[in-house]
């Protein structure tokens, strides 16, 4: 076991798979000699060579096309999109092409691609770096969307994503990259895609979260405990396809739920969680399922992040609304 | 003073071997093709012209769905495909079904593609190709990836892709060529300039004098060929292929051609944007007419032979339509089953739901 930050765990996961499978290719803008703008691919080109880890021209759509083409020759591409706000440039390659390839080819062609990309607020980035656009991806049949919230999950999930034979969008929250360390096993291990985790057990209310909002929910749960409210925190880990079973099971126990996301209220995937709960557990609910989300504006100007991003206080407040309903 | 663009255009003069009268005008560029191969080229062009006529008729009868006519483009489509090897990978646009057929896609599958059935997109194992791409330009960035893949596997093969004149305005068109150039990958990018993107003439796409010169932006080879001259198209593609497998990088080929029919069979009416004079002018350059003259002068072609091919084409088309008719209908459970390697929770549920419906 080693103590690792989330970004170290991701690098470790990439190294593990580059070693494990010679078909794995890591490429993108500045991921080679430079080791990535966040050092996520640091040392990988030196270790595995330019044939395996390489830079590309500055064009996201081209990177998407490159990944699709390489898949036809038996490679397992792990491209990077420098910031997920740039995904608009490559929406066709992702949603219009690779997500559909298995289906459109009648199950004769598959795309074992893992797209890594940083996102998320709280680190004062310039425009279109921090936007939460996972909701767009979650709406596309054929994709899987994975968002780890801690170093242990990050390594296990990146390994599972790379080994998956269908395209996976792997979103890395920038604020979580180096905010804390965790025990991470040195060997290869998988965290199953499509499976949520009960991060903290509780009996009075279920908090469903993902990304940086998992930590915020845990923090809220600790504050709520002082009020005598026991909150169960579920980390979705994979937001699409979603582990509805784990969520519904928890709600049946607590009878109350709040869904927490960093994305705007009209975006993200919280409404999908709410819909699933009301379809499957409405008779177990003591109160409506409420959402914690950002305001429906464009992502905040840097100096307004603090007043705009949802935090643990917003969660505590919403839980009180649900408890006192 | 000369414009810079004039100097550029001078480097992209139209490459031609066979003139409209079927006479060789560029002897030294003449590709090495045996008499049988020359006849095979003509056979394929005649067959494909009939296939186009029958496809239009079948579409009108409602026995085919989406169809983008190909008449006029036989030299550009088949001349380029004939220069390929079986290991090469084709990334066609929506009008490029003939190249797939001659690479080995069974006719009935091409008809299933037209109708909208997943079995039409299941390529035979020895056909390295994607099914026709609807998103104009997407095939170009993907080609850069296939070519890099072939290069990394050290295969003596190329990736070839096709788009139209309108497609050269897309961002993916430039990105695809530029990536292949930067990686020096074995790719052939073909632009079939048939003068119109639906109703928009090529002059409205760009101020560039030729489309071939767009290769300059990627730093790769570019050539403009007479796309109604099957020998010129074959020679240009063969040359591009030889250079690609020798590690000399990608090529952009602009084939000057024309579609005699509408853009697609979905209600496009070319009389709204094309003059009869223009149609007549291009019909004089018909790739079949000039190649027929060339072969007849060499004593390699007769009316009987041509009629035999026409009859064969008609019979095979009839049989293929029947085979398409006999293909089992698609079920929702088929579509669900083709989504992922392992079904996630929600699709597992929907699979059960539709299994129940389908068993009623």
Dihedral sign computed on CA atoms, order A153, A158, A161, A162: negative
Residue span of the structural domain in which B250 resides = 2-329
In a domain, A191, yes or no: no
Is the domain of A66 the same as that of A147?
yes
Residue span of the structural domain in which A269 resides = 197-324
pTM for the predicted model, two decimal places: 0.97
Is the domain of B68 the same as that of B131?
yes
Is the domain of A204 the same as that of A178?
no
Angstrom distance (rounded) from CA B71 to CA A95? 33
pLDDT for the residue A99: 98
- Residue of chain A nearest B183, judged by CA positions: A56
Q: Mind listing the pLDDT tens digit of every residue in chain A (325 residues)?
A: 899 999 999 999 999 999 999 999 999 999 999 999 999 999 999 999 999 999 999 999 999 999 999 999 999 999 999 999 999 999 999 999 999 999 999 999 999 999 999 999 999 999 999 999 999 999 999 999 999 999 999 999 999 999 999 999 999 999 999 999 999 999 999 999 999 999 999 999 999 999 999 999 999 999 999 999 999 999 999 999 999 999 999 999 999 999 999 999 999 999 999 999 999 999 999 999 999 999 999 999 999 999 999 999 999 999 999 999 9
Is the domain of A105 the same as that of A219?
no
Final residue in a domain of this structure, among A127, A155, A184? A184
Angstrom distance (rounded) from CA B282 to CA B185? 35
Angstrom distance (rounded) from CA A78 to CA A71? 10
pLDDT digits (tens, 9 = 90+) for B243-301: 999 999 999 999 999 999 999 999 999 999 999 999 999 999 999 999 999 999 999 99
Nearest chain A CA: its distance from B313 CA (Å) = 27
Interface A:B, Cβ pairs < 8 A = 135
Angle between the B107-115 and B35-60 helix axes, to the nearest 10 degrees?
A: 30
Q: Please write down the HEC assignment for all residues of A154-194.
A: HHHHHHHHHHCCCCEEEEEEHHHCCCCCEEECCCCCCCCCC
Is the domain of A149 the same as that of A237?
no
Q: Which two tokens stand for residue B16?
A: 């031609």
pLDDT for the residue B7: 83
- Residue of chain A nearest B346, judged by CA positions: A241
Binary contact (B118, A103; C-beta < 8 A): yes
Query: Does residue A241 have a cis bond before it (omega within 30 degrees)?
Result: yes
pLDDT for the residue A255: 98
What total number of domains does chain B contain?
A: 2
Nearest chain A CA: its distance from B26 CA (Å) = 37
- Residue of chain B nearest A90, judged by CA positions: B172
Final residue in a domain of this structure, among A152, A184, A216? A184
Is the domain of B221 the same as that of B335?
no
pLDDT for the residue B9: 84
Is the domain of A133 the same as that of A278?
no
Is the domain of A179 the same as that of A245?
no
Is the domain of B352 the same as that of B250?
no
Is the domain of B118 the same as that of B68?
yes
Dihedral sign computed on CA atoms, order A275, A277, A283, A287: negative
Is the domain of A175 the same as that of A244?
no
pLDDT for the residue B1: 60
Nearest chain B CA: its distance from A73 CA (Å) = 5
In a domain, A189, yes or no: no
Is the domain of B313 the same as that of B280?
yes
Residues of B involved in catalysis = 259, 263, 273
Is the domain of B100 the same as that of B217?
yes
Between B135, B150, B179, which is nearest A66 by CB?
Answer: B179
pLDDT digits (tens, 9 = 90+) for B321-344: 999 999 999 999 999 999 999 999
Binary contact (A105, B179; C-beta < 8 A): no
Percent of chain B with pLDDT over 70: 99
Is the domain of A259 the same as that of A210?
yes
Is the domain of B92 the same as that of B176?
yes
Contact A111, A167 (CB under 8 A): yes
In a domain, A190, yes or no: no
* B123, B144, B150, best to mutate vs chain A, most A CBs in 10 Å: B144
Is the domain of B359 the same as that of B271?
no
pLDDT for the residue B3: 73
Angstrom distance (rounded) from CA B111 to CA B104? 14
Is the domain of A221 the same as that of A302?
yes
Residues of B with CB under 8 A from a CB of A: 89, 118-119, 121-123, 128, 130-131, 135, 138, 140-150, 152-153, 155, 159, 171-172, 175-176, 178-179, 182, 335, 337-341, 344-347
Is the domain of B287 the same as that of B345?
no
Binary contact (B118, A73; C-beta < 8 A): no
In a domain, A54, yes or no: yes
Q: Which two tokens stand for residue A111?
A: 């795309």
A142 contacts in B (CB within 8 Å)? 339-340
A102 contacts in B (CB within 8 Å)? 338-341
Query: In Å, how far are A65, A201, A204, A257, A314 from A320, measured between CA atoms?
Result: 48, 18, 11, 11, 10
Please report, for the domain that includes residue B16, its CATH number: 3.40.50.970
Binary contact (B130, A109; C-beta < 8 A): yes
**Span B124-145, mean pLDDT?**
98
Binary contact (A103, B122; C-beta < 8 A): no
Residue B2: is its pLDDT beyond 70? no
What total number of domains does chain A contain?
A: 2
Please report, for the domain that includes residue A8, its CATH number: 3.40.50.970
Supply angle C-alpha B244, B98, B59, rounded to 5: 155
The mean pLDDT value of chain B amounts to 97
Is the domain of A80 the same as that of A206?
no
Binary contact (A69, B159; C-beta < 8 A): yes
Query: In Å, how far are A143, A182, A232, B297 from A218, measured between CA atoms?
Result: 29, 16, 9, 86
- Residue of chain A nearest B129, judged by CA positions: A72
pLDDT for the residue B4: 75
Beta strand A114-119 with A76-79 is unpaired
Nearest chain B CA: its distance from A224 CA (Å) = 32
pLDDT digits (tens, 9 = 90+) for B26-80: 999 999 999 999 999 999 999 999 999 999 999 999 999 999 999 999 999 999 9
Is the domain of A135 the same as that of A104?
yes
Is the domain of B341 the same as that of B292?
no
Write the CB contacts of B131 (distance below 8 Å, at least 6 apart in sequence): A104, A105, B92, B100, B113, B120, B121, B123
Contact B75, B286 (CB under 8 A): no
Residue B5: is its pLDDT beyond 80? no
Please report, for the domain that includes residue A230, its CATH number: 3.40.50.920
Is the domain of B43 the same as that of B105?
yes
């Amino acid at each position: 076991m080693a103590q690792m930050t989330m970004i170290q765990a991701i690098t470790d996961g990439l190294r593990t798979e580059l070693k494990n499978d010679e078909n794995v290719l890591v490429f993108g803008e500045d991921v080679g000699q430079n080791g990535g703008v966040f050092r996520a691919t640091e040392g990988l080109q030196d270790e595995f060579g330019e044939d395996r880890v390489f830079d590309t021209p500055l064009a996201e759509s081209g990177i998407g096309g490159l990944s699709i083409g390489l898949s036809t020759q038996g490679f397992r591409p792990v491209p990077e999109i420098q910031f997920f706000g740039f995904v608009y440039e490559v929406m066709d390659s992702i949603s219009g092409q690779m997500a559909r390839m298995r289906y459109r080819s009648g199950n004769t062609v598959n795309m074992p691609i893992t797209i890594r990309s940083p996102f998320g607020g709280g680190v004062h980035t310039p425009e279109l770096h921090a936007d939460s656009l996972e909701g767009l991806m979650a709406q596309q049949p054929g994709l899987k969307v994975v968002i780890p919230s801690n170093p242990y999950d990050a390594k296990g999930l990146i390994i599972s994503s790379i080994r998956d034979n269908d395209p996976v969008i792997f979103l890395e929250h920038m604020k979580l990259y180096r905010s804390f360390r965790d025990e991470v096993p040195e060997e290869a291990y998988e965290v199953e895609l499509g499976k949520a985790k009960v991060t903290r057990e509780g009996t009075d209310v279920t908090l469903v979260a993902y990304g940086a909002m998992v930590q915020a929910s845990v923090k809220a749960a600790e504050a709520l405990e002082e009020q005598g409210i026991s909150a169960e925190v579920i980390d979705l880990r994979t937001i699409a396809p979603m582990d509805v079973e784990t969520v519904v099971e928890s709600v049946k126990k607590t009878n109350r739920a709040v869904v927490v996301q960093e994305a705007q209220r009209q975006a993200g995937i919280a409404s999908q969680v709410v819909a699933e709960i009301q379809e499957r557990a409405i008779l177990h609910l003591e109160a409506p399922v409420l959402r914690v989300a950002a305001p429906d504006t464009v992502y905040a100007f840097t100096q307004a992040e603090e007043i705009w991003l949802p935090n643990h206080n917003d969660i505590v407040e919403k839980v009180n609304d649900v408890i006192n309903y | 003073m000369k414009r810079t663009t004039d100097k550029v255009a001078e480097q992209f003069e139209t490459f031609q071997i066979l003139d409209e009268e079927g006479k060789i005008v560029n002897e030294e560029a003449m590709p090495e093709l045996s008499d049988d191969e020359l006849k095979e080229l003509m056979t394929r062009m005649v067959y494909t012209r009939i296939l186009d006529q029958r496809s239009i008729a079948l579409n009108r009868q409602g026995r085919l769905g989406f169809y983008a006519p190909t008449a006029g483009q036989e030299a550009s489509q088949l001349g380029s495909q004939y220069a390929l090897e079986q290991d090469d990978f084709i990334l066609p646009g929506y009008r490029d079904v003939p190249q797939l057929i001659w690479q080995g896609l069974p006719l009935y599958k091409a008809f299933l593609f037209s109708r909208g059935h997943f079995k039409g997109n299941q390529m035979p194992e020895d056909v390295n190709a994607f099914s026709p791409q609807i998103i104009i330009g997407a095939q170009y960035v993907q080609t850069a990836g296939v070519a890099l893949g072939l290069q990394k596997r050290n295969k003596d093969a190329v990736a070839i892709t096709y788009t139209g004149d309108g497609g050269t305005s897309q961002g993916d068109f430039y990105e695809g060529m530029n990536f292949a150039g930067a990686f020096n990958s074995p790719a052939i990018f073909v632009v079939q300039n048939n003068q119109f993107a639906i109703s928009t003439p090529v002059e409205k796409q760009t101020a560039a004098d030729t489309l071939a010169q767009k290769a300059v932006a990627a730093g790769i080879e570019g050539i403009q060929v007479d796309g109604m001259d099957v020998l010129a198209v074959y020679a240009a593609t063969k040359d591009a292929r030889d250079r690609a497998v020798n590690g000399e990088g990608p090529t952009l080929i602009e084939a000057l051609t024309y579609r005699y029919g509408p853009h697609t069979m979905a209600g496009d009416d070319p009389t709204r944007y094309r003059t009869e004079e223009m149609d007549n002018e291009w019909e004089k350059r018909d790739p079949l007419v000039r190649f027929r003259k060339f072969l007849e002068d060499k004593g390699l072609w007769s009316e009987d032979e041509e009629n035999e091919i026409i009859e064969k084409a008609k019979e095979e088309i009839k049989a293929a339509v029947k085979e398409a008719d006999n293909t089992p209908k698609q079920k929702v459970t088929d579509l669900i089953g083709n989504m992922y390697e392992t079904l996630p929770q929600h699709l597992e549920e929907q699979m059960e739901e539709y299994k129940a419906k389908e068993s009623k």
